[in-house]
Homo-oligomer: A and B are copies of this chain.
Amino acid sequence: MRADRVRGHLDGLLMAVLEQGPLHGYAIITAVQQRSGGVLDLRTGTIYPALNKLERLGLLTSSWESVGERRRRSYRLTDAGRRSLAEERTAWREFTVAIGSVLNPGAEPRSAI
């Protein structure tokens, strides 16, 4: 699948994988990969600018960690981030119902939970 279709939903994906605890960038990529069954393959040019934006908006905070000689930047969801994530989920439901109703009229209207 064209991973380009993530467009507009990226913020929600990032916040969702950070919900259970902090992760660093690389781990975020693999987490999204695994949860999506290998379908979604985000690139660094996609997530780092997005993470910066979310931090600038106060939805994430970041801190540097050291593992041996290697540095990692750990991203943590803020309270505002959790509220925003809830809104993203609501928007996702509305979105899937709307598109789904047009694409498959007559089918039971249901959201992709």
Residues of chain A having any CB pair with chain B under 8 Å = 1-2, 4-9, 12-13, 16-17, 32, 35-37, 39-40, 88-89, 91-92, 94-105, 107-108, 110-113
Contact = CB atoms under 8 A, between A and B. Distances in A.
A91 B99 CA distance: 13
26 contacts: A1-B94, A1-B95, A1-B98, A4-B8, A5-B7, A6-B99, A7-B7, A7-B8, A9-B103, A12-B103, A13-B102, A16-B103, A35-B101, A35-B102, A35-B105, A39-B98, A40-B98, A40-B99, A89-B103, A89-B104, A92-B100, A96-B112, A97-B112, A100-B112, A110-B113, A111-B112
Contacts of A5: 7-9, 95
